[in-house]
Amino acid sequence: MNLDSQSHQLLRAYQRRRLFGVRSGDMVRVIGLRWLIMLLIGLAIYWMAVPTMPAIGHTTIGALLGRFAGDLAYFRSSRRIWPTIEQITDWQKIDELVGPYPASRE
């Protein structure tokens, strides 16, 4: 079975979570750049659009805050569902596809 790079990265992340558990820092690190970009866009909109077009500015800021809240909800659900995923996953098949996880690095 040939894996594309995204599938390979996902299986590596599952291996890492199996060894070290689900950590909030890992989740934040994955989407930290997106949050930074959203923050910069939100600040620019607040500075430029809110004074001139309040309805559009506030709607856009609300959408950005909604996306942020959605990410937090995803974090919470990921932490809750992980024990089930860990029990039903065929770890031997994952090790066969991507190789064993290197224990020396995190």
**pTM (2 d.p.):** 0.67
| Domain ranges across the chain | 5-98
Query: What's the pLDDT tens digit per position in 18-77?
Result: 888 888 888 888 788 889 998 998 889 888 988 899 888 889 889 999 999 998 898 889
- C-alpha 37: how far from chain center: 15
93, two tokens: 């098949």
List the helix and strand counts (H, then E) for the chain: 4, 0
Task: Note every long-range contact of 26-31, with CB atoms under 8 Å and residues 24 or more positions apart, other chains counting.
Answer: 27/75, 27/78, 31/71
